Amino acid sequence: MAGSGPADLGSNPSGAIMQETIHELSFFGSKTAMICLAAIFAATNHFAQAAQVILSLAAIYATVFPIRMVIFKSRPKPMQWNNLWEKFSANSLISVHVARATSMAIILSLYFSNIALAIIFFAIIPIVAISRFLLGKHKKEDLFFGFLLGLLIATAITQLIKF
């Protein structure tokens, strides 16, 4: 059924390029992106924003890790696991990429206070979500709960740490 599951792009060259492109779109929700954003804020003396990003990242993991340890939901494309970190990675429950992308969108939108930029930042969230879905990492409900978690955490943290 079209649109109901992860993309199977096959082994042809254009499919491989598409698969790599979809994978790279996930970067905008990666922990590397959040750490880079925090470093940029810190390097430009915007320490409150750097703290918001780091605390959001920590809060996302502090929330999702125990949930994933108690409740295991296999990814649409199942992964094998042999230790706790692999179990965390093999679990699709709550998209951490989408939570991180949402947190960054909120923090950046509040920092720049520019509607056009906010639209761009928030447009990245569905791009990350769609890439995670097409890669077979999550089902739709995992993506929704990731968005909700990122929204709640970033909203709380930006209220606690004002700039």
> Is 11 in a helix, a strand, or coil?
coil
Give phi and psi for 113, each to the nearest 5: 50, 50
21-41, pLDDT tens digit by residue?
999 999 999 999 999 999 999
Q: Does the pLDDT value for residue 110 go beyond 50? A: yes
Q: Residue 100 corresponds to which amino acid?
A: R
Cα–Cα dist 40/34, whole Å: 10
Question: Which residue is it, tokens 């125990």?
Answer: 66
Q: Does the pLDDT value for residue 3 go beyond 50? A: no
**Nearest alpha carbon to residue 35 among 129, 123, 104, 131:** 104
pTM (two decimals): 0.90
66-87, pLDDT tens digit by residue?
999 999 999 999 999 999 999 9
